[in-house]
């Protein structure tokens, strides 16, 4: 089955700096890659997603890039703010509609230092 590796496990950046979280996946048939943000004690919230027919997607301060050949994708957060502090999860799936479910990475704890 699919395996998703996520790095780093903890990332501490100064407020206003950029943060980059990287994930690799094993199944070349995977075609959907969402990113979720989970604050302590709260539900995972979708922040951005990308499909395999697109190389990059942006939404304000957040961007995701995908390299299908290398089977890796990354989350980029610019101008970080205190409210960006949370655990971020990448995920991958290979079927439209998710019948195989999402395979998640182990998460990155992002800490924004004031």
Partner 1 sequence: ETGVTQSPTHLIKTRGQQVTLRCSSQSGHNTVSWYQQALGQGPQFIFQYYREEENGRGNFPPRFSGLQFPNYSSELNVNALELVDSALYLCASSLPGVDTQYFGPGTRLTVL
> Can you give the binding site for partner 1, defined by CB under 8 A?
1, 4, 6, 32, 34, 36, 42-46, 49, 51, 89, 91, 93, 95-107
> Closest approach of Cβ 31 to partner 1, in Å?
9
Asked if 90 and 46 touch (Cβ cutoff 8 Å), the reply is: no
Q: How far is the CB of 17 from partner 1 (least distance, A)?
A: 25
Nearer to partner 1, 22 or 78 (CB): 22
Place of tokens 């590796």: 5
Q: How far is the CB of 114 from partner 1 (least distance, A)?
A: 25
Burial letters 9-25, b for 16+ CB under 10 A, else e: eebebeeeeebbbbbbb
| Cα separations in angstroms, 71 against 14, 20, 57, 65 | 29, 17, 16, 11
Would you say 71 or 78 has its CB closer to partner 1?
71
Residue with Cβ nearer partner 1 (97 or 114): 97
């Amino acid at each position: 089955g699919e395996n998703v590796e996520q790095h780093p496990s903890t990332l501490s950046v100064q407020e206003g700096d950029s943060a980059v979280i990287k994930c690799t996946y094993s199944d070349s048939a995977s075609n959907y890659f969402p990113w979720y943000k989970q604050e302590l004690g709260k539900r995972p919230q979708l922040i951005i997603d990308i499909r395999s027919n697109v190389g990059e997607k942006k939404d304000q301060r957040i961007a995701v890039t995908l390299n299908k050949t290398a089977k890796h994708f990354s989350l980029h957060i610019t101008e970080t703010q205190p409210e960006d502090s949370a655990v971020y999860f990448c995920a991958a799936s290979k079927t439209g509609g998710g019948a195989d479910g999402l395979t998640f990475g182990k998460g990155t704890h992002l800490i924004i230092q004031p």
